[in-house]
């Protein structure tokens, strides 16, 4: 790995100031499980001048309960989320998503901030520079998306704006279902972004001098049940081919509220609004859930090799809803 | 006599810790990257972005002046060494033939400097059209990779297997055979997912010139002496000393890392310092070794009773950009297919083709796995027609003692091996085959969206007695024994197993037996532990050497007893008169404190003892998601005599390992035919089996004495992978009632077969 | 940049290392795996993929298994690190019971992945004295073994558990 400057910071303010000093040519490192690979493979044409290590900020490691809901510091590790006693009830979907990430070692190192902010796994984008040079593409600022005419088995099935990479984050799927917001701090101060808006077609809305400070989850209705499912070829190691997080509030067999989120099928986590609206007020039975599954994927536009992901997404939605409705 | 021998065995068949166990669990076993030489430089390779191109200009001046850079090489200034069969791959070439092909070499004081220097090399290429598909490559207008191989077809001769090496399977008259058949089926199947055998340790070589014609190489090779021989011929008859480190997995791929040795040696020559070339995992994926691509298209004729009357077809083999003894794999594949199924009439014509992708080289399964994985799905179409149970068929039709076959040397051999029917039968019983088999394309069970199915495969190999081994055994007067065999440890425990054989032969405690380091300067010729030849071939040479040393010891001790060697025996470092064990004398007293007894043993190739393994698998398929779970695996074989139970069991488990069973559902190298790049050159996108996907694994292993050597044993490690991929394909087919003619069965393929998703664009393949 | 020193506590030994660009210094780009192997000559930590995907470089930092090939050395200041070399008794050289169980079960083939696996299991047993097999598999789920020593590794772990229970 090529040398670069390395700065430990101890407060969020110091982090932002340091990022400013490097004028956008520094990157934030926390768990390091994604960025270290990005740097080793020299994926990006511009190698950063510096790494700003935020693991040294003690105030960012927490999972706490407040009157408004649960707040998670961006340095909380995926292991901590998996085991947190505060992530009970519907919040369990987040714990489940966290414990489905990668491997035990990665979960010990990786943070929730990093899991949200990680770069895509598109294999054209990730092609290592040492094997004949990196592949340039739209996401890297120059060139077409090679996945469209290439091997797109893992790519978006819900379109893309020129880039068809899918969002690899498992926690993002659960967090969107939980209606979470991301608190971000930068040189202009702090802003709070709904998870939905955090992701955009070629990455996320983090600016170069910003870092994720906290994740905030509001309280949900008492009777909400949740389910997170991740479809992979293998239980550990793999990124999702499709993931689904579902929250359903039921009263006497009738769905009063549903939130259905699909992961790894689009540039960001995707709410299945049609299916959600359809379920609201319905007496739940298998037929209704089947229909919800169809509606959840109704807008899909698969590429040449990945229509199977649509079928898997449909199945996962039905299974997750069934789990919530009849458990 | 046999019972007595078995009774008396102290180490053979007993669990004894491996000699290197302590080192391994302490982290003290030295793998190639753990070896550091004083003054050693780090070599790196600049790799081509094009699948096929000519280097128009290359400017290394900026790299050369970078501080810490000690050598820079391009095609213009490399030595004229050639590897491959026939020799066709130089150290570097003006023409690059795959994405990742070597363009320039750099040696520097550190890896970081070497990598930085790579970025300073300016190259202009003239891109040429590329070809990845075997059939496309043979077309008239196809881009030509080498002027010496017109049509992109390699010659099939394999001189080191003999002047008449097997190049096809032609026996009898297939037309007559088809005419006599009740059913003739025709089909095609591709096993061209080119999985990477991917031992965990990436390949590495260190080279140092001791003199202008004297090269020492350290490597993680599986065959240090054979590497010496290869380099000697490839590098202009120089003197090579080859030393092996502990080998972090090979599966055939590290038998002959001549290319890394070329790079390291060429750089070391210029830099006049030792140079290490250690591949990164990415290079290991995209620029080292893949399995051969294989397609079979042909016909099988069968009688109603299940007798095969004729097999005919084309076997298309994709070697990638170079043939590194792929001809040997073709020869062995042609032999192994005859072991698997007897037919009076054969006509299989192989074509070995080069294409613009990373090379396919030696891998366990060695040709037979490639041919059979593609052939069996066609064969089973015939079994389905005749409604024959595949287990019954395989048990009936594999080559039995007294049956013959053409082997790789082109000669007709008659099996004097074990009858494996009993092992197969007991395997089927333990697996519950008869209960689970419901007929072709019939599931074993259906539970909602989960369907289970079973499959079976068989594979045999007569290479367990291939090639030559030599060994010395030295008896020291202090009662210790040293074995000289150029045998490196690559995970099978063979270095420990041969100590057991010698301890047993000489009746000395196991801890008194050790092996000289795997160094060609110290040890005699050894082909290496490949093709499961360790137990028989290597074992036989070492046992003979031990017996020879024993004879010398007894002869030298005879005067002490005033007797003849025939009346003497040895045990625990003493010589004694037979029948009068108390009349004993230590080796030291017997031969003198200043004398060692050196015995020599040699093994000559013997292809008459084929081994066989049958593998049963049960899978569960989720018909809603296309996910396949391997629920259960059972191996059935016969090893003659177990040498080391743990090592044996580990070898059987290898069925799930390197480019084996999982080539049916997980493993493939994804070659992007638009760019020529292997897209999944990482260990997330290249799928391997984890601890959370372990099937129930059972084994039936019999011990029927086989005529090999003193311990009547035969190795089976290599053959455990080959029966598995077609067995898994069969099991999935049965579970969901759909036939498949390709690997691996990823969820898209399964869902497509079930009509649950639109047909995906046919993946353009290699 | 001001002079910068870091202190690592590896297997109970204290190492003070200088951060900088000179050949003997820790570079900011050095991974812990590199420092352990190249600077401290603790080569028992194996580097298989160097990208955090194979688990062979696993070491324990503050008792938790992490990937030393994805950990920057400069970020390990003041950390307690255990590598495979730290398991045996430093005085007698006697193997840790877990290492002994691996020997007795023959729980390796080529042995390259073994140190990392042993450390992952060690960390599990430190927090869970009586894991069930699923816990063990989960703890090992990030370890690649191409030879397939998995079944013998599970046997070794149950062997050590049985022995501890006696």
Cβ pair C106:B15 closer than 8 A: yes
Q: What is the rounded distance in angstroms from the CA atom of residue B75 to the CA atom of residue A32?
A: 39
Smallest Cβ distance to B491: which of C45, C49, C109? C109
Mean pLDDT of C25-50: 97
Q: What single-letter DSSP state applies at residue B31?
A: B
pLDDT at residue C1 above 80? no
Percent of chain A past pLDDT 90, that is, above it, reads: 93
What is the model's pLDDT at position B206? 98
For A219, A253, A275, A289, B431, the CA distances from A281, given in Å and listed in that order, are: 21, 10, 12, 13, 51
Q: Is A102 on the interface with C (CB under 8 A)?
A: yes
Angle among Cα B22, B24, B30 to the nearest 5 degrees reads 115
What is the model's pLDDT at position B6? 52
* Chain B CA closest to residue A318: B624
Cβ pair B627:A231 closer than 8 A: yes
Cβ pair C74:A55 closer than 8 A: no
Helix (H) or strand (E) holding B113: helix B111-118
Does the CA dihedral B265-B269-B270-B276 come out positive or negative?
positive
Helix (H) or strand (E) holding A43: none
Q: What is the pTM of this model?
A: 0.98
Q: Is C144 on the interface with B (CB under 8 A)?
A: yes
CA-wise closest residue to B18 among B643, B658, B702: B643
Q: What is the rounded distance in angstroms from the CA atom of residue B602 to the CA atom of residue B568?
A: 25
What is the model's pLDDT at position B386? 97
Smallest Cβ distance to A124: which of B116, B679, B687? B679
Task: Provide, as residue numbers in chain A, all residues whose Cβ is less than 8 Å from the Cβ of B49.
Answer: 132-133
Does the CA dihedral B136-B140-B144-B148 come out positive or negative?
positive
Q: What is the rounded distance in angstroms from the CA atom of residue A117 to the CA atom of residue A215?
A: 12
CB pairs under 8 A between B and C: 170
Q: What is the rounded distance in angstroms from the CA atom of residue B99 to the CA atom of residue B358?
A: 8
Q: Which ipTM was obtained for this model?
A: 0.98
pLDDT at residue A162 above 50? yes
Q: What is the rounded distance in angstroms from the CA atom of residue B740 to the CA atom of residue B723?
A: 17
Q: What is the rounded distance in angstroms from the CA atom of residue B114 to the CA atom of residue B34?
A: 19
Give the architecture (CATH level 2) of B32-128+203-278.
Alpha-Beta Complex (3.90)
* Helix axes B421-431 and B390-397, enclosed angle (nearest 10): 160
Residue A66 CB neighbours (<10 A) = 9
Fold of B467-603: Aldehyde Oxidoreductase; domain 4 (3.30.365)
Cβ pair B654:C147 closer than 8 A: yes
Q: What is the rounded distance in angstroms from the CA atom of residue A246 to the CA atom of residue A176?
A: 10
What is the model's pLDDT at position B764? 44
B100 vs chain A: nearest CA distance in angstroms?
5
What is the model's pLDDT at position A223? 84
Give the model confidence (pLDDT) of C66-96 as tens digits.
999 999 999 999 999 999 999 999 999 999 9
Helix (H) or strand (E) holding B711: none
Q: Which residues pair with B350 in a beta bridge?
A: B315
- Strand A5-8 relative to strand A50-53: parallel, antiparallel, unpaired? parallel
Q: Is C104 on the interface with B (CB under 8 A)?
A: yes
Contacts of B411 (CB under 8 A, 6+ apart): B162, B164, B607
A92 vs chain B: nearest CA distance in angstroms?
22
Q: Which stretch of A138-147, A310-319, B453-462, B755-764 has the lowest confidence by average pLDDT?
A: B755-764
C13 vs chain A: nearest CA distance in angstroms?
23
Give the model confidence (pLDDT) of A16-52 as tens digits.
999 999 998 999 999 999 999 999 999 999 999 999 9
Task: Provide, as residue numbers in chain A, all residues whose Cβ is less than 8 Å from the Cβ of C3.
Answer: none
Smallest Cβ distance to B693: which of A130, A235, A241? A235
Q: What single-letter DSSP state applies at residue B344?
A: S
- Biggest CA pair distance of chain B: 89
CA-wise closest residue to A157 among A19, A301, A43, A13: A301
Altogether, the residues listed in chain C come to a count of 166
* Chain C CA closest to residue B16: C104
Cβ pair B282:A135 closer than 8 A: no
Task: Provide, as residue numbers in chain A, all residues whose Cβ is less than 8 Å from the Cβ of C32.
Answer: none
Cβ pair B27:C42 closer than 8 A: yes
Q: Which residues pair with B618 in a beta bridge?
A: B454, B632
Q: What is the rounded distance in angstroms from the CA atom of residue A71 to the CA atom of residue A94?
A: 12
Cβ pair A121:B684 closer than 8 A: yes
Q: What is the rounded distance in angstroms from the CA atom of residue C33 to the CA atom of residue C43?
A: 9
Mean pLDDT of A140-151: 95
Burial-class residue C9 by CB neighbours within 10 Å (0-12, 13-18, 19+): middle
Give the model confidence (pLDDT) of B217-274 as tens digits.
999 999 999 999 999 999 999 999 999 999 999 999 999 999 999 999 999 999 999 9
Task: Find out if CATH 3.90.110.10 is the number for domain B293-464+608-753.
Answer: no
Q: What is the rounded distance in angstroms from the CA atom of residue B270 to the CA atom of residue B265?
A: 9
Domain range summary for chain B, segments of one domain joined by +: 32-128+203-278, 293-464+608-753, 467-603
Give the model confidence (pLDDT) of A191-215 as tens digits.
999 999 999 989 999 999 999 999 9
Q: What is the rounded distance in angstroms from the CA atom of residue A317 to the CA atom of residue A227?
A: 10
Mean pLDDT of chain A: 96
Per-residue confidence band for A305, with pLDDT thresholds at 50, 70 and 90: very high
Residue C90 CB neighbours (<10 A) = 12
Give the model confidence (pLDDT) of C102-131 as tens digits.
999 999 999 999 999 999 999 999 999 999
Cβ pair A105:C75 closer than 8 A: no
Q: Is A9 on the interface with C (CB under 8 A)?
A: no
C20 vs chain A: nearest CA distance in angstroms?
10
Residue ranges in chain B whose pLDDT is less than 50: 1-3, 764-766
What is the model's pLDDT at position B766? 42
Contacts of A30 (CB under 8 A, 6+ apart): A53, A54, A55, A74, A75, A111, A113, A114
Cβ pair C146:B25 closer than 8 A: no
Q: Is C132 on the interface with B (CB under 8 A)?
A: no
Buried b (16+ CB within 10 A) or exposed e, B378-412: bbbbbbbbbebbbbbbbbbbbbbbeeebbbbbbee
Cβ pair A307:B760 closer than 8 A: yes
Q: Hey, do B32-128+203-278 and B467-603 end up sharing a CATH topology, with the first three levels equal? A: no
Could you give the domains of chain C? Answer: 4-86 (3.10.20.30), 97-165 (1.10.150.120)
What is the model's pLDDT at position A222? 77
Secondary structure class of B5 (helix, strand, coil): helix
């Amino acid at each position: 790995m090529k040398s670069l400057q390395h700065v430990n910071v101890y407060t969020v303010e110091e982090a932002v100031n340091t990022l400013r000093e490097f004028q956008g040519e520094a990157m934030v490192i926390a768990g390091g499980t994604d960025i270290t690979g990005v740097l080793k493979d020299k994926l990006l044409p511009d190698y950063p001048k510096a790494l700003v290590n935020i693991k040294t900020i003690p105030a960012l490691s927490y999972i706490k309960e407040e009157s408004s809901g649960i707040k998670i510091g961006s340095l909380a590790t995926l292991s901590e989320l998996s085991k947190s006693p505060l992530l009970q009830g519907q919040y369990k979907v987040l714990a489940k998503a966290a414990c489905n990430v990668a491997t035990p070692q990665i979960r010990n190192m990786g943070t929730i901030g990093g899991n949200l902010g990680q770069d895509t796994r598109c294999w054209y984008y990730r092609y290592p520079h040492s094997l004949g040079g990196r592949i340039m593409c739209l996401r890297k600022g120059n060139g077409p998306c090679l996945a469209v005419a290439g091997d797109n088995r893992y790519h978006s099935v819900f379109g893309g704006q020129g880039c068809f990479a899918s969002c690899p984050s498992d926690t993002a799927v659960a967090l969107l279902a939980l209606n979470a917001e991301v608190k971000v701090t930068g040189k202009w101060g702090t802003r709070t972004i709904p998870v939905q808006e955090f992701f955009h077609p070629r990455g996320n809305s983090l600016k170069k001098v910003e870092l994720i400070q906290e994740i905030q989850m509001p309280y949900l209705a008492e009777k909400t049940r949740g389910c997170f499912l991740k479809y992979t070829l293998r239980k550990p190691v793999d990124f999702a081919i499709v993931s689904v997080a579902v929250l359903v509030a039921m009263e006497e067999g009738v769905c009063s509220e549903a939130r259905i989120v699909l992961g790894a099928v689009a540039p960001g986590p995707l709410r299945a609004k049609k299916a959600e609206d359809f379920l609201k007020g319905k007496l739940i039975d298998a037929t209704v859930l089947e229909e919800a599954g169809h509606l959840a994927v109704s807008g899909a536009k698969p590429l040449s090799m990945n229509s199977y992901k649509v079928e898997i997404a449909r199945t996962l939605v039905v299974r997750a809803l069934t789990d919530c409705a009849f458990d | 006599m046999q019972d007595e021998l078995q009774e008396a065995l102290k180490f053979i068949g007993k669990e004894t810790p491996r000699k290197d166990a302590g080192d391994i669990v302490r982290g003290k076993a030295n793998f190639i990257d753990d070896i550091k030489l004083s003054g050693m430089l780090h070599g790196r390779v600049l790799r081509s972005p094009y699948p096929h191109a000519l280097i128009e200009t290359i400017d290394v001046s900026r790299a050369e002046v970078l501080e810490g850079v000690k050598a820079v090489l391009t095609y213009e200034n490399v030595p004229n060494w050639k590897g491959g069969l026939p020799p066709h791959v130089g150290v570097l070439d003006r023409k690059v033939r795959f994405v990742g092909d070597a363009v320039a070499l750099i040696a520097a004081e550190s890896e970081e400097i070497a990598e930085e220097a790579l970025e300073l090399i300016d190259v202009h290429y003239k891109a040429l059209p590329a070809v990845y598909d075997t059939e496309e490559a043979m077309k008239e207008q196809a881009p030509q990779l080498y002027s010496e191989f017109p049509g992109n077809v390699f010659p099939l001769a394999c001189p080191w297997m003999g002047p008449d090496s097997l190049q096809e399977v032609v026996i009898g008259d297939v037309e007559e055979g088809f005419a006599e058949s009740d059913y003739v089926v025709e089909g095609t199947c591709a096993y061209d997912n080119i999985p990477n055998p991917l031992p965990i340790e990436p390949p590495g070589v260190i080279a140092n010139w001791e003199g202008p014609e004297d090269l020492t190489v350290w490597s993680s090779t599986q065959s240090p002496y054979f590497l010496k021989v290869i380099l000697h011929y490839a590098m202009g008859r120089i003197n090579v000393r080859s030393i092996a480190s502990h080998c972090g997995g090979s599966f055939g791929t590290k038998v002959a890392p001549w290319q890394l040795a070329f790079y390291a040696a060429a750089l070391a020559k210029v830099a006049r310092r030792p140079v290490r070339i250690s591949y990164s995992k990415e290079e290991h994926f995209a620029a080292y070794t893949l399995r051969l691509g294989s397609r079979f298209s042909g016909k099988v004729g069968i009688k109603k009773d299940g007798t095969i009357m004729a097999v005919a077809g084309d076997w298309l083999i994709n070697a990638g950009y170079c043939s590194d003894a792929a001809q040997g794999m073709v020869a062995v594949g042609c032999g192994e297919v005859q072991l698997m199924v007897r037919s009076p009439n054969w006509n299989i014509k192989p074509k070995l083709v080069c294409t613009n992708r990373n090379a396919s080289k030696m891998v366990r399964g060695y040709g037979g796995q490639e041919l059979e994985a593609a052939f069996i799905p066609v064969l089973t179409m015939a079994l389905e027609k005749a409604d024959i149970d595949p287990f019954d068929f395989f048990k009936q039709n594999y080559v039995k003692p007294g049956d013959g076959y053409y082997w790789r040397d082109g000669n007709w051999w008659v099996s004097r091996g074990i009858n494996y029917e009993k092992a197969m039968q007991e395997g089927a019983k333990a697996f519950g085959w008869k209960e689970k088999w419901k007929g072709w394309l019939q599931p074993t069970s259906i539970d909602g969206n989960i369907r289970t199915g079973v499959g079976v495969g068989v594979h045999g190999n007569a290479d367990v007695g291939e090639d030559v081994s030599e060994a010395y055994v030295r008896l020291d007067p202090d009662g210790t024994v040293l074995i000289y065999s150029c045998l490196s440890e690559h995970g099978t425990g063979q270095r420990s197993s041969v100590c057991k054989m010698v301890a047993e032969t000489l009746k000395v405690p196991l801890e008194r037996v050790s092996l000289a380091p795997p160094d060609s300067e110290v040890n005699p010729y050894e082909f290496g532990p490949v093709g499961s030849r360790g137990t028989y071939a290597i074992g036989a040479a070492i046992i003979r050497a031990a017996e020879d040393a024993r004879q010398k010891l007894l002869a030298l001790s005879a005067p002490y007893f005033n007797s003849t060697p025939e009346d003497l025996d040895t045990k625990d470092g003493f010589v004694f008169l037979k029948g009068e064990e108390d009349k004993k004398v230590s080796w030291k007293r017997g031969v003198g404190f200043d004398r060692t007894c050196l015995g020599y043993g040699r093994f000559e190739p013997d292809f008459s003892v084929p081994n066989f393994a049958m593998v049963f698998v049960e899978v569960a398929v989720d018909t809603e998601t296309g996910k396949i779970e391997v629920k259960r695996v059972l191996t059935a074989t016969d090893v003659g005599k177990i040498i080391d139970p743990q090592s044996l069991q580990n070898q059987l488990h290898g069925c799930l390992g390197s480019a084996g069973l999982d080539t049916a559902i997980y493993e493939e190298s994804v070659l992007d035919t638009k760019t020529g790049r292997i897209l999944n050159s990482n260990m997330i996108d290249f799928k391997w089996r984890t601890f959370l996907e372990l099937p129930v694994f059972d084994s039936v292993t019999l011990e029927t004495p086989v005529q090999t050597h003193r311990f009547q044993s035969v190795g089976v490690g290599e053959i455990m992978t080959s029966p598995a991929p077609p067995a898994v394909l069969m099991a999935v087919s049965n579970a969901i009632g759909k036939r498949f003619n390709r690997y691996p069965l990823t969820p898209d393929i399964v869902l497509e077969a079930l009509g649950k998703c639109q047909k995906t664009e046919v993946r353009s393949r290699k | 940049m001001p002079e910068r020193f870091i202190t690592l506590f590896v297997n109970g030994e204290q190492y003070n290392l200088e951060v900088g660009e000179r050949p003997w210094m820790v570079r900011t780009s050095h991974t812990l795996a590199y420092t352990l192997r190249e600077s401290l000559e603790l080569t028992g930590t194996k580097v298989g993929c160097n990208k955090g995907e194979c688990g062979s470089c696993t070491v324990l930092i503050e008792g938790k298994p992490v990937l030393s090939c994805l950990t920057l050395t400069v970020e390990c200041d003041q950390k307690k690190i255990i590598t495979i070399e730290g398991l045996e008794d430093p005085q007698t050289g006697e193997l840790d019971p877990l290492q002994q169980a691996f020997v007795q079960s023959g729980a390796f083939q080529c042995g390259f992945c073994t140190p990392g696996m042993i450390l992952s299991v060690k960390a599990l047993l430190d927090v869970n004295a009586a894991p069930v097999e699923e816990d063990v598999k989960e703890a090992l789920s990030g370890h690649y073994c191409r030879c397939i020593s998995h079944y013998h590794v599970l046997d070794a772990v149950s062997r050590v558990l049985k022995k501890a229970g006696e």
